[in-house]
Amino acid sequence: MDQASIIRDLLVWLESHLDLPLSLDNVAAKAGYSKWHMQRMFKDVTGHAIGAYIRARRLSKAAVALRLTSRPILDIALQYRFDSQQTFTRAFKKQFNQTPAWYRRASDWNSFGLRPPIRLDDFKLPEPVYVTLPEMRLIGQTQSYSCTLEQISFYRDEMRIHFWKQFLQETDTVPPVLYGLHQVRASKEKDDEQEILYTTAVPENQISQDLQSSQILQLEAGEYVQFSYEGPTGALQEFILMIYGTCMPTLGLTRRFGQDIERFYTHGGKKRPEPPSEIRCEYLIPIRRQTLLG
């Protein structure tokens, strides 16, 4: 096996073990090489020192937990293998230029400091499209559920299908465009969970008599970055995680307050008995771009 293949496998393994002890001896044993040879091979293939990379990824994972849960900072620090809150705060401030507490409280989520996972496969960044949406009236239903940060991917896939089935159960036809509005906030009841608000909606001019009981929603005007997805229904959540974990920091974007938007394009005809196995979707994230003066 060539060096790139060895390091590619090691990167995948590291990503799923960031909350476990990862001494260089343990990592070298996993790679099947001496510690010295493994470090040199990692640096040759990726251009990064393995110890610094592991720490940067742990801090990036911790940053996501700070934004999406209300767990105590010390708990997050210990999960990602920092021996004290003080040690964690020093390392966090060095990478993100602000303390964990300030990072959590900020209204905007700046992607500065987030270290995307290194990808050695033929990964191509999805093409970003910057759009400004006008104010729009939608007809829909908002529902909520809570889950831990580790459960969010599984739950979001399951609940998305469940909520769409509920929303469309009284109609025989599927509108050509469907909107899913998604917002996450820390749970008020459990500090290790987040509350997910998901709105299923259609444009007001597409409403049918069967959906008249739904509520009127106002989609605020604003600037968004849009990414297009076409593929298996079950892979959409991985696509969203990749956007947040890789695209947003690579593009240097700041997420402003607001809802993520899923805009689905359907066959626009008679409702089928089962959800589609393939979907076409535009995913939009509310952003604030920096204005350059000069």
pLDDT per residue as tens, the chain (294 positions): 688 899 999 999 999 999 988 888 888 888 888 999 999 999 999 999 999 999 999 999 999 999 988 899 999 999 999 999 999 999 999 999 999 999 999 999 999 999 999 988 777 889 999 999 999 999 889 998 888 887 877 788 888 888 888 888 877 888 899 999 998 888 888 888 888 889 999 988 766 655 555 788 888 899 999 999 999 988 898 899 889 989 999 999 999 999 999 999 998 788 877 778 899 999 999 998 764 443
pLDDT at position 292, please?
A: 41
Helix ranges (DSSP H) in the chain: 3-15, 24-31, 35-46, 50-68, 73-79, 85-96, 100-105, 152-168, 236-242, 248-251
pTM > 0.85: yes or no: yes
pLDDT, residue 294, reads 36
pLDDT at 122: 76
According to CATH, the topology of domain 129-288 is Multidrug-efflux Transporter 1 Regulator Bmrr; Chain A (3.20.80)
Portions of the chain given CATH number 3.20.80.10 = 129-288
Please report the pLDDT score of residue 276 as a whole number.
81
The predicted structure's pLDDT at residue 210: 58
pLDDT of residue 149: 81
Buried b (16+ CB within 10 A) or exposed e, 162-199: ebbeebbeeeeebbeebbbbbebebbeeeebbbbbebb
Chain CA centroid to CA 229, Å? 14
The pLDDT, as a whole number, for residue 132 is 95
Residue 141: which residues within 8 A CB-CB, separation 6 or more?
A: 163, 166, 167, 199, 200, 201, 214, 215
In the prediction, which pLDDT does 208 show?
61
DSSP codes joined into one string, 80-124 = TT-SSHHHHHHHHHHHHSS-HHHHHH-SSEE-TT--PPP--SS--
* CATH H-level superfamily of 3-106: Homeodomain-like (1.10.10.60)
**So what's the pLDDT on residue 32?**
85
The reported pLDDT for the residue numbered 211 is: 57
The pLDDT value recorded for residue 213 is: 58
Where in the chain are all domains bearing CATH 1.10.10.60?
Answer: 3-106
Share of residues in the chain with pLDDT > 90 (%): 52
